[in-house]
A and B are shown apart, each in its own frame.
Chain A
Amino acid sequence: MPALEVRGVTKAYGTKVAVDAASFSVGRGEIFGLLGPNGAGKTSLIRMIMDILRPDSGEIRVLDDAPGGRERVGYLPEERGLYQRQRVGDILQFFGELRGLPRHVAVRRVEMYLDRVGLLETRRKKMRELSKGMQQKIQIAAVLLSEPELMVLDEPFEGLDPVNRVLITDLMKEFAAKGATIVLSSHRMDQVEEMCRSVFLVNQGKGVLSGEVREIKERFADNSVFLECDRDVTAHPAVARSEPKGPALKLWLKEGEAPEKFLAGLIADGAKIRRYERALPSMDEVFVRVVKPS
């Protein structure tokens, strides 16, 4: 059974349709990317998943709709912040208890997860005394401390430096490895590409792309390769056009020319090849290609 199933969900605000018949499902233990440009309807969709908004039609099943399901879902919203005038430890304990943790467990987990994000010494500090990046990590700790089975994280890397981005990425991978499901909404396509197995791309309220990252990239591939070798192949009859990419060349092969056959031909000609690789588009390129026409 999937951890999250969204079936034909529609939501309108007056005459504006924010989400139009969106459907996708996320398997247990998967890191899933929910993508889309600004104003595409992602936040509405996420709020409906979190039961903060009700869909006009369609169905959303979270963790099989089992009792207490809400407490097993962690949420990091895009519009987020914490009580600025309260102490970090008190805030986290409050969120832990709201998530159903007994008080003594919440107290223990607060220490544990503050330690995990490297901020144990801030436990008695007020939120307003912390930097933006530190506050961001506290918010992530607030989500993690209930050890949810499903996490919905909207732009979790915003405001983090590269070191902390790696720290949070590793934590998320660790949770996923233990069986937690993560729905990740982000504009950082490199991060999505690194972490997500599948994605759902929404644009103007409609689902415009879904599937596994690898399969999507294959789908958008344009018969090009990266090549580094000891000779100039730009005039090769199989090459339509070329473009230098660092020490390598990106070659667009003519229609009908198979990359495997082109490689076999080069080897047969005695070329010394240092690098040969299918040039798949990045998720950034896929995103732009799908969204730009609209």
Chain B
Amino acid sequence: MNKAWIVARHEFLVTVKRVWFVVATFVLPFLFGGIGYGMHAVGQRAVEESIATVRNKPMGFVDRWGGLPERTGFVRYDDDKAARGALIAKSIGSYLLIPEDYLQRGEIQVTTLRRPTLMTAAQPPLPPGVRDWLLDAVLKDVNPDRIRRAKSPFEPRTIFLDENGNPSQEDTEETAKRALTAYGFFLLLFMSIFTSSAYLLQGMAEEKENRVMEMVLSSITPDQLMLGKLIGLGGAGLLQMAVWASMSVVSLVLTAVTVVVAPAAFFLCFAYFLLGYVLFGSLMLGFGALGTNLRESQQMASIWSFLGASPALIVIALFEAPQGTVARIFSYIPFTAPTTMMFRYVIDPKGTPVYDIVASMLLLVASTWFALRISARLYRAGLLLYGKRPGIREIWRWIVQGR
């Protein structure tokens, strides 16, 4: 065990001192956040710019129906030809043509020089207030209260009852925040587990490529080496997760978003990280050891990354039905349990049955133990393989017989 600690300390220090670890830990979150915010802002701005060419100019209208009153920002034209001339002269951004049978058919024609784009094709190039203006004209002699109701027929306020028939204290805004937080935990856990596992794989492939392994193995058993690597790089992963979690908390505080997360969520996150990391890390080490270089090791280990990432495919189902059948099935599958269970618990802490958590944990512990055993065998057998990739039968023999 002492030697495993020496390896653990060595791996931890080497990893946290690496430039890429520091960049990934401290810069990447800002980079991702910045890119996400930037993409959103740039997109919004582009849409606004695209519509502004229409909206920032007065709008013309030709009223063949005869019921539209004058209104600020709208220029009346006697006929279609005059309105079109003004549009081409760019004195207006667009114009409306209200046909004689508007009341019967409700159809109006909007003419503009602006070309439709992907993001704005569905949005008619209308300035604000057109809807109210038309409604006021249609309902000219009607009671103002009715006009208001017609403009805004209802404002829903849903009351959610729990199983006992009591109204839920949680409002929709709170639910949305909780969903976002759950997604945050999901990403945090996923990234922590797979970043740490990737470090494990990369380190081992480098050792094989650099031919260090045999010298190391003359001082330490493969099992001690594997344990030391799992502990050391798991520690680095935990450190990274802690930094990212702290950044998330700070950013939430700075943006004054208050989301109440049950303290148990942090404990569960820690537990699922440990189990998930040991499960995926050991499998990646075991199967990665069968490759003769980093590229081959990554190919060998990629199946586990795919399995681990699969809950992302059902994230909509998790949002909509965190206690649904799909979510529960994914909670029992060891490869998807950590992220799925974490998501379910954070989004719906009261609704998540304790036995689901316990059962998923037990299955995960059993699978991790099993994965450790298999991986240790493959790791032992694969470490000294240079330049030759084993066949399926050979791999199976190592799994079954040990070496």
Contacts and interface: CB of A to CB of B under 8 A. Distances in A.
Interface stretch (A77-85, A262-270, A283-291): A77-85
Interface string A55-99: 000000000000000110111110111111110001000110111
B397 to A, nearest CB: 9
Contacts of B7: 98
B158 interface: no
B14 interface: yes
B152 interface: no
Output the residue of B215, B220, B386 with the most chain A CB within 10 A: B215
Interface size class of B (residues with CB under 8 A): 20 to 34
A52 interface: yes
B217 A52 contact: yes
Contacts of B217: 50, 52
Contacts of B216: 98
A83 B214 contact: no
Contact of B220 (A54, A80, A98): A98
A52 B220 CA distance: 9
A28 to B, nearest CB: 20
Contacts of A47: 214, 384
A147 B386 CA distance: 29
Nearest to A127: B210
Given A83-B212, A98-B6, A52 B218 contact: yes
Nearest to B7: A98
A76 B217 CA distance: 11
A52 B385 CA distance: 13
A142 interface: yes
B386 A79 contact: yes
B195 to A, nearest CB: 18
Contacts of A71: 219
B211 interface: yes
A75 B218 contact: yes
A263 B253 CA distance: 103
Contacts of B207: 83
Contacts of B210: 81-84
A94 B214 contact: no
A139 interface: yes
Contact of A83 (B206, B219, B384, B386): B206
A54 B403 contact: yes
Output the residue of A52, A75, A90 with the most chain B CB within 10 A: A52
Interface in B1-48: 3, 6-7, 10, 14
Output the residue of B6, B207, B218 with the most chain A CB within 10 A: B218
A80 B219 contact: no
B214 A98 contact: no
Contacts of B220: 98
B3 A79 contact: no
Contacts of B219: 70-71, 95, 98-99
Nearest to A154: B214
A38 to B, nearest CB: 15
Given A71-B219, A83-B207, A52 B214 contact: yes
Contacts of B214: 47, 52, 75, 77, 79-80
A70 B386 CA distance: 24
Nearest to A81: B211
A52 B384 contact: yes
Nearest to B221: A51
Contacts of A98: 3, 6-7, 216, 219-220
Interface string B50-84: 00000000000000000000000000000000000
Contacts of B206: 83-85
Interface string A133-165: 000000100100000000000000000000000
A23 B217 CA distance: 24
Interface string B98-140: 0000000000000000000000000000000000000000000
Interface string B315-358: 00000000000000000000000000000000000000000000
B398 to A, nearest CB: 12
A52 B219 CA distance: 10
Nearest to A52: B217
Contacts of A90: 14
A86 B403 CA distance: 31
Contacts of B6: 94, 97-98
A103 B216 CA distance: 17
A142 B214 CA distance: 13
B403 A80 contact: no
A91 to B, nearest CB: 9
A139 B386 CA distance: 19
Contacts of A81: 210-212
Contacts of B215: 75-77, 80, 82, 95, 139, 142
A150 B201 CA distance: 33
A177 to B, nearest CB: 24
A95 B10 CA distance: 10
Contacts of B14: 83, 86, 90
A278 B210 CA distance: 48
Contact of A94 (B10, B218, B384, B386): B10
7 contacts: A70-B218, A70-B219, A75-B214, A79-B386, A81-B212, A85-B206, A97-B6
Given A47-B214, A70-B219, A77-B211, 9 more contacts: A52-B384, A76-B215, A79-B211, A81-B212, A82-B210, A95-B219, A98-B6, A98-B7, A98-B220
Interface of A: 47, 50, 52, 54, 70-71, 73-77, 79-86, 90, 94-95, 97-99, 139, 142
A-B complex: 8 closest residue pairs judged by Cβ atoms: A81-B211, A75-B218, A77-B214, A98-B219, A81-B210, A79-B211, A97-B6, A50-B218
